[in-house]
Structure 1
């Protein structure tokens, strides 16, 4: 599964993709990086967000979870 890690003001983050969609964002750093176009764009957008230049994200999301978990995530 493609994944990238980046340092951020809130700590190390790792973003995971599957079939050109973001499927997870987790705390921590991984050494083995396998990027793809959607992860490159996610890194750009996260960097801009933490720099205060971006206020909303435009990324294809397909979070993993039960229907209940995904409904709760939509309410946040």
Structure 2
């Protein structure tokens, strides 16, 4: 599906119920070395993954970035973008 096309009603309902991404969060108490005062500190991390993302290749990402810039300055059509 083209990213500029509006979502169908069923897809909007599906995403409202199940979401379009998932996030994992973790925390852990980690020991600190003596040269920074010792003891322990809480370390936290979060990671988000987008669901059902369209497959992309490195070449496609480079072309998309290039064409976006070319279109911004008005020469995209002449370059096949």
TM-score, structure 2 length as denominator?
0.27
Relative contact order, higher structure (CA 8 A, sep 6+): 1
1 or 2, which has the higher helix percentage?
2
Larger radius of gyration: 2
